[in-house]
A and B are shown apart, each in its own frame.
Chain A
Amino acid sequence: MIILTGNDLKTGDVIWWAGETNWSRHLSDAVDAGEEADAVLQREDAARRVNAGYSVEAEQTERGPMPLHIKDRVRASGPTVRQDLAIDTNIPIEKA
């Protein structure tokens, strides 16, 4: 599946596309953008609902969508060395 991420323009928060015009700070809310990925990114960028958006290859898991690349899993979890600042410490960083 293809999911979309980027940053909130004003706050810089990492956000995930949750369908329509919705963005969430939680990876678990991300939905498959499929073939529409580029079109959605363009539209959402133009509306400034996302900044520096890009598409991420992911797989559906028991926990919901999980990016294939470690960088995006760290992105979704927050810094692994500051659990107090993390968004979701349950995201497996290393490949299972």
Chain B
Amino acid sequence: MYQYDKYDQSLVDSRVAEFRDQCERRIAGEMTEDQFKPLRLQNGLYLQLHAYMLRVAIPYGTLSGDQMRMLATIARKYDRDYGHFTTRQNIQYNWIKLEDAADILQDLSTVEMHAIQTSGNCIRNISSDQYAGASAEEAADPRPWAELLRQWSSFHPEFAHLPRKFKICVIASDTDRAAMRLHDIGIQLVENDAGELGARFYVGGGMGRTPMIAPLIREFVSADDLISYCEACLRVYNRYGRRDNKYKARIKILVHEIGAEEYKRQVEEEFAHIKTLNLDPPRAELERISEFFAPPAFDAEAPTEVDLSDPDFRIWHDQNVAEHKNPAYAIATISLKPVGGIPGDATADQMDLMADLAKQYSFDECRVTHSQNIVLPHVRKADLYALWQKLDEAGLAPANLDLIGDMIACPGLDYCSLANARSIPLAQKISQRFADQQRQKELGELKLKISGCINACGHHHAGHIGILGVDRKGVENYQLLFGGSGAEDVSLAKITGPGFTEDGVVDAIEKATDLYLAQREEGERFVDTYRRIGMEPFKEALYG
């Protein structure tokens, strides 16, 4: 894990002091809300439907045990004993008091965390692959690069006031677990034929009201030029991105309007200029950063077999455990999706437990995934059974990774002031309808994603089944979408037709999955069958 140097720490500390002063001035009436709002948003503090909401950055989704424990402490000390892990691999607290906000940031700073750049038109938290450093298929560990990008983008003066928010994702394998091409910049680290490390750049993806898949802008950018190339991408956007219309301000609109070819031409021109400035850090700095992410001291004697004689454990193991690059280890996903639960919510006690388990079983590391789960990246196979038992006791062992029960849901109208409809009750109803383990397993990989409004925080465009909450004359209504994917087979989901009531949408999903079961060919997932047979038969089943 990366550890702050004195510059990192002093930046964060001075920001806490500054914000404390700002909060005090607001409370004392020396500032109006209009004056204060941009300042609090720069520190992740929103005003939501019921209270202030604090969004804390979890850089590239990576947390140490101590950091996770601090998240639990904050939930307990300042909030109502829980937090919500988000699709941007961050955490949100729903019940924050303004008078506590500076203390919270101070507590966070003691474990090298903050809420800087979690809001506003700046470069947001970098997202990455939750299997980084543990998966066998990656070209390199993406985390040192994500960290480099974090340092470059933190307080970058030129990019503090972009036309709109900006999200960057770095992965390093062909399997995409991070919705890479639905980011403003998606970077895939790759090796070229000469065995040199570089990056494939996709620019102009995003969700929201105008979803777009990022086109490939450059096949190979040398790793030594990664920062310069990002700088060039951002500069062209900063200069030409629209500032007159918030809905057309994201980079995806610029790339779409001028075309990927023209955008690329301008980026290349800018890049040729930027290269002369030597912006990329020297290799020594990258090596310094990389050392923090060196592989942990794996136990060379550890057995490579797992005893699967307990059938309940076996179900969890088959579903939630993935292969590790070391044959004696495994990657375990803790699903935050119990039947009838709130996707992504974890209690303070659960967070404490996950911190302890990370310490005990995973070299003190855990990861937050964009599908609102927690990963323990390096678990000895010999420890999996003990781990599972402890998780199960705490309600943290739903065996549903990537199944219909493992759905994404944004906070929706239960918490969010921008929402049109509630997301969570719907998620609960769907998970109850499909609660049966056998049935879920039978349906196979099925990514269901729910957003409470067009902003698409719940990734509905990228769901095999997506659900979008809309307001129909003051009544909650839900549009159903099929055929999206945020993975390497990226695609945007299409609306099935007229919307449904909350119960209607659950029935409609059941009709669609029944059709899939009847029509599927060997090895097809729901989305594969949909792609093969098209929307018509599904429409027939839903509305016929």
Contacts and interface: CB of A to CB of B under 8 A. Distances in A.
Interface SS majority for chain B: mixed
* Contact-residue size bin, chain A (C-beta under 8 Å from the other chain): 20 to 34
Nearest to B427: A81
A73 to B, nearest CB: 10
B177 to A, nearest CB: 28
B500 to A, nearest CB: 15
A77 to B, nearest CB: 10
Contacts, number: 72
B18 interface: no
B414 interface: yes
A9 B24 CA distance: 11
B442 to A, nearest CB: 28
A4 interface: no
Contact of A71 (B47, B98, B413, B475): B413
A95 B474 contact: yes
A52 B33 contact: yes
Contacts of A12: 47, 50-52, 95-98
A75 B47 CA distance: 12
Nearest to B341: A81
* Contact-residue size bin, chain B (C-beta under 8 Å from the other chain): 20 to 34
B363 interface: no
Interface string B466-485: 00000100111000000000
A1 to B, nearest CB: 17
A13 interface: yes
Nearest to B419: A71
A71 to B, nearest CB: 7
B205 to A, nearest CB: 30
Contacts of A80: 414, 422, 425
Interface string A1-15: 000000101111110
B99 A79 contact: no
B349 to A, nearest CB: 15
A16 to B, nearest CB: 13
Contact of A51 (B33, B95, B476): B33
B29 A14 contact: no
Contacts of B471: 70
Interface in A63-96: 68-71, 74-75, 78-82, 85, 94-95
Nearest to B94: A79
25 contacts: A7-B51, A9-B27, A10-B99, A11-B97, A12-B51, A12-B52, A12-B96, A14-B49, A48-B27, A51-B47, A70-B413, A70-B471, A70-B475, A71-B413, A71-B419, A74-B49, A74-B413, A74-B422, A75-B49, A75-B50, A80-B425, A81-B424, A82-B414, A85-B95, A94-B476
Given A51-B33, A52-B33, A74-B49, 18 more contacts: A7-B47, A7-B51, A9-B27, A10-B27, A11-B99, A12-B47, A13-B51, A14-B51, A48-B29, A69-B474, A70-B476, A74-B422, A79-B94, A81-B342, A81-B424, A81-B428, A82-B414, A95-B474
